[in-house]
Amino acid sequence: MPEPQIVDSHCHLDFPQFTENLDGVITRAVTAGVTRMVTICTKLVEIEQVQKIADTHAPVFFAAGTHPMNVADQPMVSVEDLLALAKHPKMIGIGETGLDYHYTVESMALQKTSLRIHIEAARRTGLPLIIHARAADADMAELLREEYQNGAYSCVMHCFSSSAELARAALDLGFYLSMSGIATFKKSQELRNIFAAAPVDRILVETDAPYLAPMPHRGKTNEPAYTAFTARVGAEIYGLEYDVFARQTSENFDRLFSKAAKWTSQ
């Protein structure tokens, strides 16, 4: 029997680790049941390469934005830039954007400006925001709440590994949490507890490939096929059969990334 279908909601297929064998990477993913992948553009100067991957490979969609760690050395994105890109039929999300005070706290002010621009683009396009948050929980929760009061938008907290407080703030706004390979690590019980306390209809799964490979591949190059390892741990967290969890997270993806759901039905 074929593997249950599942979605890798966040990966980086344009990164050099995949240059030599992208066709093989995508084939392995589909064989593992990962029938859709979202590749993320983190610098708009690289958008053509990201679009080409999505245009060439039917299972691949893309999102675009400026990663918070890139804000200081890239031109500031504009709402108009993102609106123009969103006209592409396979661009389904805004970002990734967010706040990273672990590596780039010195660009804090620029990161906040960039994040607000991305949020406005998410409002105006109706596409979900894709958030990167590291070592910035209080500022992130405050900014997300403040901006939501200025106008609703949808959002996923990508590769969620922050505090229970930030998880609750995001969930209270109707946002989603995405589970990465970090949730499979032995020392991640506190994170698994945070996911267990969240509604299962607000959970996505992802690889963040080529980073953060789940057990038993930790320390190796991650790839979309490995979404299944994270999803099996997710199923255990919720006490569900794997096929049930795969179907639930796929339904969650379709609800949040509705443009992708509509595209697949064409």
Enumerate the domain spans of the chain: 6-264
Beta strands in the chain (DSSP E): 6-11, 34-41, 60-64, 91-100, 129-134, 155-157, 176-179, 203-205
Question: Of all helices (H) and strands (E), which one includes residue 252?
Answer: helix 242-256
Confidence band of 200 (pLDDT split at 50, 70, 90): very high
**Interval 77-102: pLDDT, tens:** 999 999 999 999 999 999 999 999 99
> Does the pLDDT of residue 59 top 60, yes or no?
yes
Give the mean model confidence (pLDDT) for residues 45-74: 97
> In percent, how much of the chain has pLDDT > 70?
98
R_g (Cα) of the chain, nearest Å:
17
- Please report, as a single letter, which amino acid is at residue 167: A
Tokens (6 digits) for 60:
């691949």
Predicted pLDDT at 2: 76
Query: What was the pLDDT predicted at 264?
Result: 64
Within a 10 A sphere around the Cβ of 224, how many other Cβ atoms?
Answer: 29
Average pLDDT over every residue of 72-81: 96
Identify the pLDDT of residue 250.
98
Collect all residues with Cβ–Cβ distance below 8 Å to 121 and sequence separation of at least 6.
Answer: 79, 82, 83, 86, 94, 127
Torsion of CA 137, 143, 146, 147, to 10 degrees: -130
Burial 69-82, CB ≥16 within 10 A → b, else e: bbbeebeebebebb
pLDDT at res. 3 = 84
For 16-53, how does the pLDDT look when each residue is reduced to its tens digit (9 = 90+)?
Answer: 999 899 999 999 999 999 999 999 999 999 999 999 99
CATH number of 6-264: 3.20.20.140
pLDDT exceeds 70 at position 112: yes
Phi, psi of 63, rounded to the nearest 5 degrees:
-130, 160
